[in-house]
Amino acid sequence: MDERVVAARDGVSLHVGGSGSGLNVLMLSGGPGCVHYLEHDRLVPAGIRAWFPEPRGVGRSEGAGHTMAQAVEDLETIRTTLGVDKWIVLGHSWGCDLGVRYALDHPTSVSRLIGIAGHGLHKDRTWSQHYEALKDTEPDVPIAWEPAVHRALGESFTEWIHQPQLFRDLADSPVPMDFLAAGNDIRQSWPLQQLAALVPTSTFDVVPDVPHDFWSTHPDTWLDVVRTTCAAR
């Protein structure tokens, strides 16, 4: 694993980890506001150059609570600073939702989006009730997070999904998007299926018999999923 420090446009220092060689893949972890829990050599299959940006205000990156627009701007600054022309964006959980926003805002920078175990672009009460009822049954995977960043990005997400043009933008997106649900995830997968039905050249599939954080509980399965999905198309 190697490490870089990238200066955002406002001067904030952003930590970016890197691992492997080959196809450039931007890895986005969840939260929002979690440290980059995917930043491990053991989670990067051969043939991939993985990049792990720590969100501003989290872990080794400077800054504080911010909007999704700022998060996307930071990702673009990181891409240009690293000299990457275009990359696959692979997001887990909240990282899937942020990846969709990034692909919509900068379609020429994203060759493909892979969203794994995402939440989806909604604030549905029944979905939340189902999650709250079962959240104590999930495997315990401790992940450090920043409440202020979580709160700010959550508020920005709600504002974004209320935009009247959002579904039109999704239906017009030129970026191929592939969505995968974890088979044993307590997070219902219908929002991902809706996205796959809406976005052109999109797919939906299920990784069987794994929980939400299967990067931790089933790392070999994670490696296989990353390898096969990045090699597809």
User: What are the residue ranges spanned by the domains of the chain?
Assistant: 2-231
- Return the structure tokens found at 54: 């720590």
**pLDDT for residue 195:** 97
In the predicted structure, residue 212 carries a pLDDT above the cut 80: yes
- What local confidence, expressed as pLDDT, does residue 31 receive? 94
- For residues 162-170, give the mean pLDDT: 97
Q: Nearest-CA neighbor of 167 among 189, 195, 138?
A: 195
Where are the extended beta strands (E) located within 1-158? 2-7, 13-19, 23-28, 48-53, 87-92, 110-116
Among 72, 112, 99, smallest CA distance to 203 is for 112
Compute CA 22 distance to the chain's CA centroid, rounded to the nearest angstrom. 20
Query: Top-level CATH class of 2-231?
Result: alpha beta
Q: What is the pLDDT of residues 114-131, one digit of tens each?
A: 999 999 999 999 999 999
Q: Is the pTM of this model over 0.75?
A: yes
